[in-house]
Amino acid sequence: MNELDIYARQGFAGRAGMGQAPALLVVDFVAGFADPAHFGGGNILAAIDATVPLLAHARARGWPVAHTRVVYADDGSDAGVFTLKAPSLLKLTEANPLSQIVPALAPRDGELVVRKQGASAFFGTALAAWLAFRRVDTVVVAGCTTSGCVRASVVDAMQHNLRCIVATDCVGDRALAPHEANLFDMGQKYADLMTAAEVMHAST
């Protein structure tokens, strides 16, 4: 019996589908994660490129759009255990060029920019309330890393009773093995998996 058979026999991999009011969440596509010399590598650059048309589609359809950045105080006073595991994250301060959203996905007026100190876009932020005010029922997720902040954000979106769709070609990781493993796991338990083209076709 292979892995898919095990999950199917136990009743996983159901489809939540696209709701009536989607939003796009773009997680941590900042300069530092686009650069293999800092936090990047793997397929992250390709995922950024694939997100450009998805973001354009979301804007054309009038979806709420939220972006996230990891931002720490200059003196590290808001640091937590996350930075004990990855102390280099402390360089991602408000003004550091590494913490700036890549130009190809630069936010527009009216789009939310979430500053976070942890993995999830929801934990300790106003994102859930912002989405609720806009009556969002589905979050389409792009960003990086698949195994880290994307996954954490997807799990929290589901726990806020939001349908969640991971745009598979719009998420990336510095290593492909955790990228693929986490896509598989999210698809079995927390989110629907669709390419950007499939998302756009389903929401036209």
Q: Residues with catalytic annotation?
A: 149
Shortest CA distance to 140 belongs to which of 193, 189, 188, 69? Answer: 193
CA distance 132 to 32: 30
Q: Three-class SS of residue 52?
A: helix
CA distance 25 to 150: 10
Position 194, amino acid? M
∠ CA 53-133-115, rounded to 5°: 60
* Per-position DSSP letters for 57-74, written without gaps between them: HHHHHT--EEEEEE-B-T
Two structure tokens written together for 83: 């930075």
Two structure tokens written together for 41: 């590598």
Is the peptide bond between 195 and the residue preceding it cis, with omega within 30 degrees of 0?
no
Q: Three-class SS of residue 202?
A: helix
